[in-house]
């Protein structure tokens, strides 16, 4: 065993995770998990509940796609169908994709990247998780009380008049919003106050820049959703007449309020995905990230621009044409920082030694799908084309290319990238590649056909459709089944790896950020030593050690902080 691995596993203890103290075996029993303040365990709990939500949302999606296999009734009534697409949207957005990356991978990785023992406010972190549980329970309870059929946007005046459980669902989303705010707040404080020696703002891993930008949006936009949903609840329960035209209110004001949050919210979803991309692409290209500062600033730019474009959801709501033009122009401007990122990733890959391991396969899928998703956003941002495409399947396809093809695919890249670190086990690379391929093919079959039928005028959210759309709908449904098989395979090999997977080395991929400097899975206090940070993309500082099937630092002392008097 080299000096490096001694550092990695610490105190001369054997490297087997079975005997070694890790966060997974530090404290036993359900309560030691539910009331833990450890960011890693909170991250794992989030991962479990968020994947359960993803499964639930996925089941709703499969029902929708199956119903659309034929025109007219296939397996459910029109009312049930309305509930299905609302629940699919609400569960996927509020329960899964908004908290998705920050609360799971962010929670786990962020303090490790900082060489810190925990996030700055661990109790708030646990509170955030509990708020998620409470909010999710209330939201899911609405399904039993009377599943909402308004669409996930809860537009007034329908949402103030429908007989379904809008109050429960929006109250759930309101509570989930606080969970999201507290996570973001915690990350802002942690990044500001807990960076290790040597980690200036521009020596932070880009993952942290992405999470930081996300946190800014979470903190500044989510309260507005909070008050909006509170007003909607007050409208339904008390009749305050802010949004209800029957009482002198303005339903379009609701749309403004809603999108003032919900447009920035799509950047809450995509920025952490981009954050993962910056790590994975550099490591699996074996090259220093290209254009570090541009990627960092583009995250901030996206966060700020995200607050200025909400009106593009409302081009057909009767806004003045001047307003429309301004929002349209601002919408185009978001394409600039997004493209800056994509070009920098491509430049990072250029002449790199690319390894097509599972995380990189997903990263490449992301580049392909996000490019389509992002560019079709420009079709929708242009006034003339949007009038034609508004509320068609084109919008649905665009949204899924960005959110699924972007965020979910990057989330999968991140899961595969950090899985060995989180659980200390390797998964089956071969099956991971099979599943990545199935997901890529299934996804494109599902949603590319929706671009085509949308541009031919198939409206979104319709239960029935004209005969000429049948082929597209059936192709889309077949695609969704392929997608589902891909995910089932993934669930299979990931669960298998937890039990039978090969033990993971500290650094299986050769990443230079600090989380790879500690054992897999990390010990309870994260690091055996005080860490100091160097260049997070200096991949040449690492070399492959076949004896541990992992990478080791050529000079392990380069990341160890000088002993401090105070400690």
Partner 1 sequence: MTENAHLETDGLAVDHHFENADQQYQSAKLGMWVFLATEILFFGGLFVAYSVYRLNHPEVFIFGHHFLDKSLGALNTVILICSSLTAAWAVRAAQLKQIRMLKGMLLLTMLFAFGFLGVKAVEYNSKWKHGLLWAREYHPHVDHEEASEILITKEDFETGAVEGVVEDVTALQKVGDGVLAETETVLIEEAPAAAPAAEANRSTIAPAAEGPPGLATQGTEESSEKVIEVEPANAQTFFSIYFLMTGLHGIHVLGGIGAFMWLYLSARRGYFSTGHFTRVDMVALYWHVVDLIWIYLFLLLYLIE
Site residues (CB under 8 A) for partner 1, limited to 462-521: none
Please, which residue, 250 or 391, has the CB nearer to partner 1?
Answer: 250
Residue whose CB is less far from partner 1, 124 or 437:
124
Minimum CB distance to partner 1, residue 142 (Å): 23
Q: Which two tokens stand for residue 179?
A: 């969970």
Residue ranges in 19-165 assigned as alpha helix (H): 30-34, 39-67, 78-90, 98-101, 107-113, 122-146, 158-161
Query: Buried (b) or exposed (e) across 538-561, using 16+ Cβ within 10 A?
Result: ebebbeebeebebbbbeebeebbb
The CA distance from 466 to 434, in Å, is 36
From candidates 122, 146, 157, 291, binder to partner 1 by CB under 8 A: 122
The distance of closest approach from Cβ of residue 390 to partner 1 in the complex, given in angstroms and rounded to an integer, is 24
Q: In DSSP terms, which residues pair with 560 in a beta bridge?
A: 531
Please give the C-alpha separations between residue 500 and each of 92, 246, 423, in angstroms, as whole numbers: 31, 62, 12
Q: Is 36 in the site for partner 1 (CB under 8 A)?
A: yes
Q: Is 450 helix (H, G, I), strand (E, B) or coil?
A: helix
Local structure of residue 314 (DSSP, 8 states): G
Task: Identify which of 411, 429, 425, 413 has the alpha carbon closest to the alpha carbon of residue 519.
Answer: 425
Question: Site map for partner 1, 81-120, x if CB under 8 A?
Answer: ------------------------------x----xxxxx
For partner 1, the binding residue among 18, 239, 325, 333 (CB under 8 A) is: 239
Structure tokens at 329: 């122009």
Interface residue with partner 1 among 78, 124, 127, 335 (CB under 8 A) is 124
| Residue 238 binding partner 1, by CB under 8 A | yes
* Residues in the chain, overall count: 567
**Nearest distance, CB of residue 252 and partner 1, angstroms:** 10
Work out how close the CB of 22 gets to partner 1 at its nearest, in angstroms, rounded to a whole number: 15
Residue 36 burial (10 A CB sphere; 0-12, 13-18, 19+) = buried
x/- letters, 520..539, toward partner 1 (CB under 8 A): -----x--------------
Residue in this structure with the two tokens 């008390």, named with its chain if needed: 238
Sequence-distant (≥ 6) Cβ neighbours of residue 3 within 8 angstroms: 556
Q: Based on CB atoms, which residue is closest to partner 1, 78 or 219?
A: 219
- 31 near partner 1, rule: CB under 8 A: no
Tell me if 546 contacts partner 1 by CB under 8 A.
Answer: no
User: Which residues inside 135-194 make contact with partner 1, applying CB under 8 A?
Assistant: 181, 185-186, 188-190, 192-194
Is residue 430 a contact point for partner 1 (CB under 8 A)? no
Closer to partner 1 at the Cβ: 94 or 284? 94
> Which has the closest alpha carbon to 108: 211, 195, 214?
211
Residue numbers 308-367 binding partner 1 by CB under 8 A: none
> Given candidates 219, 326, 347, 452, which one binds partner 1 under the rule CB under 8 A?
219
Asked whether position 560 contacts partner 1 by CB under 8 A, the answer is no
Nearer to partner 1, 126 or 413 (CB): 126
Angle at 182 between CA 407 and CA 416, to 5 degrees: 30
Among 62, 240, 304, 354, which residue interacts with partner 1 (rule: CB under 8 A)?
240
Is residue 198 near partner 1 by the rule CB under 8 A?
no
Buried b (16+ CB within 10 A) or exposed e, 101-116: bbbbbbbbbbbbbbbb
Residues that bind partner 1 (CB under 8 A): 36-38, 111, 116-122, 124, 181, 185-186, 188-190, 192-194, 219-224, 226-228, 230-231, 234, 238-242, 244-250, 253, 257, 525, 564, 566-567
């Amino acid at each position: 065993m080299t000096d490096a691995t001694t550092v990695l596993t610490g105190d001369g203890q054997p490297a087997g995770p079975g005997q070694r103290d890790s966060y997974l075996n530090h404290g036993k029993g359900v309560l030691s998990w539910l009331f833990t303040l450890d960011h890693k365990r909170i991250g794992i709990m989030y991962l479990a509940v968020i994947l359960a939500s993803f499964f639930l949302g996925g089941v709703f999606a499969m029902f929708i796609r199956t119903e659309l296999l034929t025109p007219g009734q296939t397996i459910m009534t029109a009312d049930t169908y309305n509930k299905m697409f609302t629940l699919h949207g609400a569960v996927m957005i509020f329960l899964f994709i908004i908290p998705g990356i920050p609360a799971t991978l962010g929670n786990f990785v962020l303090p490790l990247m900082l060489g810190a023992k925990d996030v700055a406010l661990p109790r708030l972190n646990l509170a955030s998780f509990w708020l998620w549980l409470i909010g999710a329970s209330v939201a899911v309870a609405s399904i039993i009380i009377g599943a909402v059929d308004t669409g996930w946007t809860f537009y007034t005046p329908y949402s103030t008049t429908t007989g379904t459980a809008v109050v429960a669902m929006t109250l759930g989303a309101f509570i989930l919003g606080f969970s999201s705010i507290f996570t973001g707040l915690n990350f802002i404080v942690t990044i500001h106050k807990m960076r290790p020696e040597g980690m200036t703002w521009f020596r932070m891993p880009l993952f942290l820049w992405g999470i930081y930008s996300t946190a800014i949006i979470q903190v500044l936009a989510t309260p507005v959703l909070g008050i909006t949903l509170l007003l909607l609840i007050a409208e339904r329960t008390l009749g305050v007449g802010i949004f209800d035209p029957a009482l002198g209110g303005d339903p379009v004001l609701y749309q403004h309020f809603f999108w003032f949050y919900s447009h920035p919210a799509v950047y809450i979803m995509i920025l952490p995905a981009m954050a993962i991309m910056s790590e994975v692409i550099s490591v699996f290209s074996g090259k220093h990230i290209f254009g570090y500062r541009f990627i960092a600033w583009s995250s901030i730019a996206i966060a700020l621009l995200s607050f200025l474009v909400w009106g593009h959801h409302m081009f057909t709501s009767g806004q003045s044409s001047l307003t429309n033009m301004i929002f349209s122009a601002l919408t185009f401007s978001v394409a600039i920082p997004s493209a800056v990122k994509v070009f920098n990733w491509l430049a990072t890959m250029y002449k790199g030694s690319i390894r097509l391991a599972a995380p990189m396969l997903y990263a490449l899928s992301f580049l392909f799908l996000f490019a389509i998703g992002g560019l079709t956003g420009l079709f929708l941002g242009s006034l003339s084309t949007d009038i034609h495409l508004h509320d068609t399947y084109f919008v649905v396809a665009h949204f899924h290319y960005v959110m699924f093809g972007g965020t979910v695919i990057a989330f999968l890249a991140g899961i595969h990238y950090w899985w060995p670190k989180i659980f200390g086990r390797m998964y089956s690379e071969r099956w991971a590649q099979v599943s990545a391929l199935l997901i890529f093919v299934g996804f494109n079959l599902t949603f590319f056909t929706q671009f085509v039928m949308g541009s031919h005028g198939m409206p979104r959210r319709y239960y029935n459709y004209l005969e000429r759309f049948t082929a597209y709908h059936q192709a889309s449904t077949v695609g969704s089944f392929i997608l589902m098989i891909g995910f089932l395979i993934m669930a299979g090999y990931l669960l298998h790896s937890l039990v039978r997977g090969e033990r993971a080395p500290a650094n299986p991929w050769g990443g230079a950020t600090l989380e790879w400097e500690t054992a897999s899975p990390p010990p309870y206090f994260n690091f055996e030593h005080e860490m100091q940070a160097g260049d997070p993309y200096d991949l040449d500082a690492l070399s492959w050690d076949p004896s541990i099937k992992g990478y080791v630092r050529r000079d392990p002392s380069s990341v160890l902080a000088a002993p401090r008097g105070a400690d």
